[in-house]
Amino acid sequence: MAPLEYARTHRNRFLDELITFLRIPSISTLPEHAEHVAQAAHWLADHLRGLGLPEVEVVPTDGHPVVYAQWLGAGAEAPTVLIYGHYDVQPVDPLDEWHTPPFEPTLRDDNLYARGASDDKGQLFIHLKAIEAYLREEGRLPVNVKLLLEGEEECGSPNLAPVIEEHAERLQADVALISDTHILGPDQPSIVYSLRGLSYIEITVQGPAHDLHSGMYGGAVDNPLHVLARLIASLHDDAGRVTVPGFYDDVLPLTEEERAELARIPYGEEELLADTGVPCAWGEPEYTVVERIGARPTLDVNGLWGGFTGEGAKTVIPARAHAKISMRLVPNQDPDRVAQAALAYLQRAAPPTVTVTGRIFHGTPPALVPQDHPAMRAAAAAYERVWGRCPIFTREGGSIPVVALFAERLRLPTVLMGFGLRDDNLHAPNEKFYLPNFYRGIETAVHFFHLLPEHMG
């Protein structure tokens, strides 16, 4: 197939272009990088125009822009694929743990090291190069393509729903395609059919009206930090289950078939210990590690602060204590309901010596994609052609907000065709992309576009 040949011949240039893209520090959550985020959006738009896409637009939002492009030359009979990716990246701290600077992409062995290398600039670039291969070699694609490239995914996509709603007509498609997840190993492809959702809250425990001398008042007023510690300790039982009443009410149980499929995944306690450096695993005993991460809802404290944390000693009873808490959700939990339940529990469980107030941040619903959808079959066949092995279906613990938006607002299933690896150091120092997966990813996308029409038939 000529586009495959093209993709192989131009690998080095593709890599050079990706390196240029990765040099732009498009950190969406830091206001001082807003200009770089805009710069990355325009770089992408220019690149898409260079590929010969007739309609390319940088769409402003209340936050960072969305880049939209389409090529509809395959005709009304052919399927339409809506490709999503995010061009924003995570902050780089702790900077001193990077072996080479995060925005000076560096090759070591078969890996390209840079912030955004796999999450998600490198993975979204795969689709641009597959499109290029078709347009240059054949002047057309076997499918219509629409591209929606976002700059706020790492902040929870707070401004994406209105864009999707406003452009719902234009975004009509048969299937959505996202490369922003990973496969099981360099030689074992996999397709993610479920992502967890996310609920995020912050609580404040208020005791005295202002900080107090701990000698003058200690023993006569309750300490908000102690109360917060007790509240947080009460959120799990000894077996690792979340104690918030109603937390598990809407959880869709795993079927026996799913458990059997998940049991094929070569990942367990041993791999978990090696990956994380923990001395032993933790969590609900009746579920495997893979199930705990992919199929069970969880609650984690992300940050805890209050009182004196500086150098030396200061004797004080602080007026307030704070915590940030995230909950990962599974199908069919509702982020808002879960957040309300957690807040209500914390307020009820608090002693009369304090008041507890809370804030609910924007939530993300979980996602479940039917494994037998024709587009999933086409994706499986595409992986098999490139890897020589059938992909295993997996569930991931992470979240991608747009997947639920596509399902709810556009009635679109999403094929999560990832090419990262578990050790790519997402959100951490020394993020990387395993380059053989970059090149194989492009070939997989080429096959997918070719196979989709007959599968969707």
**Interacting residues toward ligand BES by CB under 6 A:** 119-120, 153-154, 156, 180-181, 198, 364, 396, 398-401, 426
Question: Which residue among 180, 291, 396, 424 contacts Mn ion (CB under 5 A)?
Answer: 180
Q: Fill in the per-residue mask, 129 to 168: x = in contact with Mn ion (CB under 5 A), - = not in contact.
A: ----------------------------------------
How far apart are CB 210 and ligand BES at their closest, in Å? 35
Closest C-alpha to 215, from 116, 291, 316, 285: 316
DSSP-derived secondary structure for 110-149: TEEESTTTTTTHHHHHHHHHHHHHHHHHHSS-SSEEEEEE
291 binds Mn ion (CB under 5 A): no
In the bound state with ligand BES, the residue whose beta carbon lies nearer, of 212 and 342, is 342
Catalytic residue status for 138: no
Residue of 17, 88, 258, 443 with catalytic role = 88
Tokens of 81: 């694929």
Place of tokens 């367990």: 268
In the bound state with Mn ion, the residue whose beta carbon lies nearer, of 119 and 443, is 119
How far apart are CB 412 and ligand BES at their closest, in Å? 18
> Whole-angstrom Cα distance, residue 142 to residue 147?
16
Report yes or no: 177 and 403 within 8 Å, Cβ to Cβ. Answer: no
Residue 398 interacts with, from Mn ion, ligand BES, none (CB under 5-8 Å by kind): ligand BES
> Whole-angstrom Cα distance, residue 156 to residue 153?
5
Residue 452's Cβ-count burial label (10 Å; 0-12, 13-18, 19+) is buried
Q: CA torsion sign, 412 to 175 to 42 to 33?
A: positive
Which range in 173-181, 198-206, 360-368, 402-410 contacts Mn ion by CB under 5 A?
173-181
> Whole-angstrom Cα distance, residue 315 to residue 284?
40
396 binds Mn ion (CB under 5 A): no
Catalytic residue status for 222: no
> Whole-angstrom Cα distance, residue 389 to residue 369?
21
In the bound state with Mn ion, the residue whose beta carbon lies nearer, of 116 and 318, is 116
Q: CA torsion sign, 375 to 379 to 385 to 386?
A: positive
Residue 258 interacts with, from ligand BES, Mn ion, none (CB under 5-8 Å by kind): none
Which range in 19-27, 38-46, 172-180, 219-227 contacts Mn ion by CB under 5 A?
172-180
119 binds Mn ion (CB under 5 A): yes
Residue of 17, 132, 150, 153 with catalytic role = 153
Residue 401 interacts with, from ligand BES, Mn ion, none (CB under 5-8 Å by kind): ligand BES
In the bound state with ligand BES, the residue whose beta carbon lies nearer, of 120 and 431, is 120
Which range in 96-104, 112-120, 209-217, 265-273 contacts Mn ion by CB under 5 A?
112-120
Report yes or no: 283 and 289 within 8 Å, Cβ to Cβ. Answer: yes
> Whole-angstrom Cα distance, residue 201 to residue 382?
40
Write out the catalytic residue numbers: 88, 153
